[in-house]
Every structure is written in C-alpha cells, then in structure tokens.
Structure 1
Amino acid sequence: MTEFTLLICDDSSMARKQLLRALPSGWPAQVFHAADGQVGLELLRQKSIDLVLLDLTMPVLDGYGMLAAIRREGLSCQVVVVSGDIQDEAVRRVTELGALAFLQKPVDPAILMRTLVDVGLYDPAARSGLAQGAEEPQPSFRDSFQEVVNVAMGQAAALLAKVLGVYVRLPVPNVNLMEVGELQMALAQAGNEKRLVTVSQGYIAGGISGEALLIFHDSEIADVARLMHWQPDQSSPMELLLDLSCVLIGACLRGIAAQLNLPFSQGHPQILSHDGELAQCAQLEGVRWQRTLAVELCYGIEGYDIHFDLLLLFSEDSVPLIQRNIAYLME
C-alpha cells in the first residue's frame, strides 16, 4: 500500500500538536511539519505530499501566499485550510485559490475526519497507525497562549468585518512577559512620535485581571467615522470609538474566555489619552504590577488607511492560572 503523506503547516507548535491529535486514529499517514509557508513550499518541492493542512496567518509567507505559489508552480497536492481567520472573505479567497475545504480553529476531530472522507482523502477502512515522522510538538507557554489569542483574534475580526462590511487584515499575535516599566517607555515613545487616541477597558475573570488598550491614529478617526456611517447629530466621534472598542475588545476576550473556560467581566471603556498624550498610560491600574503578560495585535482594514493596535495586558498574578487552563487544552 502506498503511504499517504501529510504536511501540517502552521507557525504555532500548539496548533500543530492539536492537529496531530485530531487526525483520525490509526490513519497510516506520514506527517511532516512546517512553521511557515516558505518552509512548507520547500517541502512540497522536495517531497511528494498528498495533503496540506494549512494555516493562514503565518510569518515569512502566509497561507494565501502559499496557496498562490502552489497554483502558480503546479505543485501536486491537495489543501485543506485550518485557520482562526473565519471571515467570510477569507473562506471565499482560499476557495478561489484552490483549497478543498475550510475548517475553523481549534479543529473538531469529528469534523476533520468527515471533511477528509468527503473530499476522498481518508478511508476509514485503512487503519494501521501513523507512520514514523509524526513526533508530537512540545509547545512553550508563550506559543500556546499566542495560539489561543490567534483564535480569539480571528473571531473578533470576523465580527468586526460583519459590522463594518470590510475585510480585516490579521497579524501574527505578539506575546511577551515584560517589565511594566518597559511597556510604559514604549507607550511614551509611541505618543511622542504620533498623534494617538487610546481607549482603555479593564477586565477580570476569577483570578485573572488585566487592562485592554485600543490605540487609534488620530488622523484615521474621520475615516473610521465614515466607515461606520457616523452622523454628527447622532453622537461624537469619541463615542463612536468607544462603541467600536467595545465590539473588538469584547469579542477578543470572549474568544479567549471560551477556550480557557474563564468568562471575563469587563469594565466601562474610557478615553485614556487624546492628541498623542500617552503619558497618562502611566496611571494604569497595571502600573502596580511588576511585570505584565502583554499581547499586541495590529489590525488593519483592507482598502482603507485605517490601522489600530490592541494591547491586552494581563497582571503577573494571572499567568499561573492561564498556564493551568492552557494545560487542560492539551490533555
């Protein structure tokens, strides 16, 4: 029997581990791994790969670029996209680029099996165990939490895309445990360089506390207002930003909460700074922390010169509980 070959292409070792565990039990497939689309392409050029399980949001070369290269070079493989970017436009684009199916992260093993059967890539009768080469990745805490945020970020973008009728460009989340002083200096530097408006919103969840900062470029507020069909007689531009912040921050926190089984309670959003004065960030409740688990997401709206940065700042005391709940995901 000819061995089936499979490539899991995702920058997150946690996502690769989850996919490996979600594969049909007893499937006689040899599995390869790649952490970005460029490495994945090199493997496709060197080896005969039957199926690629492909993420979209990756560094170096993303999933869209890899799909386009596979088509352009005529590489012989089938592709199923497994992504946290669940925007309708994302599904449409990957289908147009030749993907057989689109699955939402974190993937449900039953849905994965049914999809593989439906597209003719898996025969439930052929069961003899995974071939060699399928070593299970061992993700770090940072990598694991980054993947949790990646899934939540995609859910938030899908909601924002529907509310605004746009396509939201997603970044690779940046997760770091850093000194609060470092954060304050970075924010102060940003405030010195650009005119910014920052919305702050606190959140708590059984042992976890944090502060969300949504940072807008002052010059883009008018574009955001037009995109949201704002009328001067309805509300002020600042109220508009507060509404948008509630949508984006709330959706992202709900996505994290659903995965970690930790529902968040959110405070009222407020304008923390205006006209580029980010010095007030030094007055954050989080300044009492020595360190913070900082998550940075840089969203962009395709077709518009609109960008905004979302910072999720978790207290140092929150980290052990987050670690424990992430460990449950891998059991």
Structure 2
Amino acid sequence: MKTPVLICDDSTVARRQLARSLPEDWEIKLEYAVNGEDCLDKLQSFSPEILFLDLNMPGMDGYQVLQAIKERNIQVLVVVVSGDIQPTAHERVLALGAIDFIAKPCDASKLEQIIDQHGIKDKAARQRLALQLGEQLDPDIRDIYQEITNVAMGQAGDLLARLLNVFVKLPIPNVNVLEVNELAMALRSIDQNAATSGICQGFIGGGISGEALLLLNDSSFKEIASLMNYEGEITDAVELELLMDVSNILVGSVLTGLAKQLDVGFSQGHPVVLGQHREVEELVSANRSRWQRTLAIEISYGIEDHDINCDLMLLFTEDSLKTLKYKVEYLLED
C-alpha cells in the first residue's frame, strides 16, 4: 500500500524540488498544500502519514501549523524543510512535535538519510513513532514519579548510611522517556573516562516490569571495603561481592519503596553482571540489545567525604507506561 505524503510549501519550485528528492523506491501517494491553512485542510481530507512542512509562509506559518497539529491531536509525522537554519528554529520545531529538520535547498541524500533513520518507509515503524510522540511525559506525571522515587531512594539511602556509618547525599532523581539511543547517551554521560562495574536485575509485578541497572565506579571499591572493615586483598571476587552487597541494598529497598506506593508487589530476578572494570561505553555497547524505549529513572548516590559514586537506573518497559500512569494518576485528584 502506498504511503500518503503531503508537501506543504508556498513555493511551487520548492514543492517540486522536494518531490524530486524523495527516494525513488518509496511507494507514495503525494499531495501538495500551498500554505498553512491549505495544509490543515489537506490533513483532514487527505490524512497523510508524513508531512514535509515549510516554516516561512504567508498567513499561517509552519510554527502555527505545528501548534495546530498538536492542539488538534492530528496523527502525522512532520519533517520540517526550511531555509531558516538557526539553532533556535530547529529546537522550536522539535519542541512542537516535528521528528526532524532539514535545510533548504533539500539535499536528496540527506533527505533519504532522515527517512531511513526514522524508518518511516515502514508502516509499523511509522505507527510506533506516532505512538511514541503521543506518549511524552506529562509534567505533572513526571513530578509524581520524582516524588515517589524521592521517598523510595530516601529509604535506600538510610539503609546504606546505617551499613557504612556515613552520610549519603541524595540527588533529585532524573525522570525521562528515552529511546535506546538516548538511553545510551545518558549512560555514557555518567562517567566517560572511569572504569566501571555494573549489575542488571529484572523485576516484574502488577503489570509493571523492567530492569534495575546499578553502575559503581571502580575507584569506589577500596573505600567501600574500608568502610565495611574489610582488611584482606581486594580481588575481583571481593569487588564483585561488594558490588552485589550495594546492589542488594539499593535495588531491593528502592523497588520495595516504589512497590508500596504503587500498591504492587515486585518479584526480582537474579542479578546479572554486565561487566567489571570496563568503561561505560563498553557496557552500553555490549548490552545495547537489552534496552529499547523505556521510562528511565536515574538516581546518582554519593557519600560525603568519600570517593564513592554509584548510579542506579530503573528502566521500565514501554508496555509498563500505561499501567504506571494509571497507578499514579489518582495522586493528581483533588
């Protein structure tokens, strides 16, 4: 079946040039709109799955079209094609829901790269991308996730503080819906240069599932061993035992704290060692296939006056998002 595609530009030359730049092997049904108002009409009558949209047009411009698409909840994937290449313009259109931006004059190879990158020749990929765009985190829901995580990580921090007799610094948790590429970037940003050891542990319960990923900077092991009064040689086996101890405390107590607030019970799988003494980049590359689109909650623990850095990420599966939202929405009720 041919993909319905709409090109909106007030310039006849620009419309034709863009049409000629589309991949020849892409089976499409093509329509044109000559301005913003015409575009909104065609979105209703033609129902395209892909819209290539100019920004600077007389009357209703591309920004206003994007705003109208957002307000009317029109299901269409938008690629902006514009001569306005300011970084701010790029940021604005992405914030308004466009999936990408390409500068005029349109380069055929760049256009095909964008089409392939987003997989929009494939109907299933288009539907999945459209669903993702409609499921971005509502600010109020993000605030709730942060608040219940604050409670859970406080309980975990208290256990760790009592075990090591230290003061645990508690951060504001980071909450985002991330694609696998964005998740990889988030993990790499933890510490690009330091050697790291990591454990992953699955959990499931009440229609919610995911994995808890714990990363411990290798420089932390010596100080953890000292705080736990360990006086022997710190071998790889000892470090693994220490990693497991920290993981059991933080992962177990955080999940218990979340489960109580969500009124579910989590069953935890056996912890899996992702690697020892490796850069985060290596851990990410080796385990990339494990993670897809996810709700990611990142907690970075620190110990006052000690060189101990521990990052815990809770990665909830895409299938869990609706259940999680349902579980927490009651907290918004008056």
The TM-score range, normalised by the shorter chain, is 0.5 to 0.7
Alignment of 1:128-147 (within 5 A): 140-147=140-147
Indicate the residue corresponding to 1:273 in structure 2: 275
Cα shift readout 1:46-79 (whole Å, capped 9, x = no counterpart): xxxxxxxxxxxxxxxxxxxxxxxxxxxxxxxxxx
Residue identity matched to 1:147: E
SS, match of residue 219 in structure 2: helix
Structure 2, unmatched stretches of 5+, are 1-137
Comparing 273-282 with 202-211, greater Cα deviation is found at 273-282
SS at structure 1 position matched to 2:172: coil
State the alpha-carbon separation in 1 of the partners of residues 329 and 309 from structure 2.
34
Contact kept in structure 1, 2:274 and 2:287, CA below 8 Å: no
SS of match in other structure, 2:277:
coil
Which residue pairs with 2:224 in the alignment?
224
Please name the residue that 1:125 is paired with.
Answer: none
**Counterpart secondary structure, 1:274:** strand
Output the CA distance in 2 between the equivalents of 1:288 and 1:164: 32
CA distance in 2 between counterparts of 1:189 and 1:142 reads 21
Matched residue type, 2:179:
E
Classify 1:202/1:300 alpha carbon distance in 2 versus 1 (closer, same or farther; 3 Å). same
Distance apart, 1:282 and its partner CA = 4.3
Query: What TM-score do the two structures reach when normalised by structure 2?
Result: 0.53
What is the identity, as a one-letter code, of the residue corresponding to 1:178? L
Report 1:43-192 matches (<5 A). Answer: 140-188=140-188, 190=190, 192=192
Amino acid at match of 2:165: G
Q: Give the C-alpha shift of residue 185 in structure 1.
A: 3.4
How far residue 310 of structure 1 moved from its aligned partner, in angstroms, is 0.9
Looking at structure 2, the residues matched to 285 and 329 of structure 1 have their Cα atoms a distance apart, in angstroms, of 34
Q: CA RMSD in A?
A: 2.4
Q: Show the counterpart of 2:319.
A: 317
Which structure is larger by alpha-carbon Rg, 1 or 2?
Answer: 2
Q: Matched residues in 1 for 2:139 and 2:186: separation?
A: 28
Task: Note closer, same or farther for the CA distance 1:239–1:298 as it changes in structure 2 (3 Å cut).
Answer: same
Q: Matched residues in 1 for 2:211 and 2:197: separation?
A: 16
Number of the residue aligned with 2:134: none
Partner Cα distance (1:177, 1:252) in 2: 19
For 1:281, give the aligned amino acid.
V
In 2, Cα distance between equivalents of 1:261 and 1:284: 31
**1:84-111 deviation line (CA, Å, top 9, x unaligned):** xxxxxxxxxxxxxxxxxxxxxxxxxxxx
Q: Is the 8 A contact 1:208 1:321 kept in 2?
A: yes
User: How far off is 1:243 after superposition?
Assistant: 1.4
TM-superposed CA distance for 1:143, in Å, is: 0.8
Return closer, same or farther for 1:293/1:286 CA change in 2, 3 Å cut-off: farther
Quote the Cα distance in structure 2 between the aligned partners of 1:282 and 1:257. 31
8 Å CA contact 1:242, 1:270 repeated in 2: no
Counterpart CA distance in 2 for 1:247 and 1:306 is: 15
Once residues 288 and 244 of structure 1 are traced to their aligned partners in structure 2, the CA distance between those partners, rounded to angstroms, is 23
Contact between 1:192 and 1:276, CA under 8 Å: does it hold in 2? no
- Please report how far the alpha carbon of residue 164 of structure 1 lies from its aligned counterpart in structure 2 after TM superposition: 1.4
Say how many residue pairs are matched: 193
Matched position secondary structure for 2:198: strand
CA contact (8 A) 1:156 1:251 kept: yes
Identity %: 47
Q: Is the 8 A contact 1:210 1:286 kept in 2?
A: no
1:277–1:139 Cα change, 3 Å: closer
Q: Which residue of 1 aligns with 2:258?
A: 256
Q: What does residue 29 of structure 2 align with?
A: none
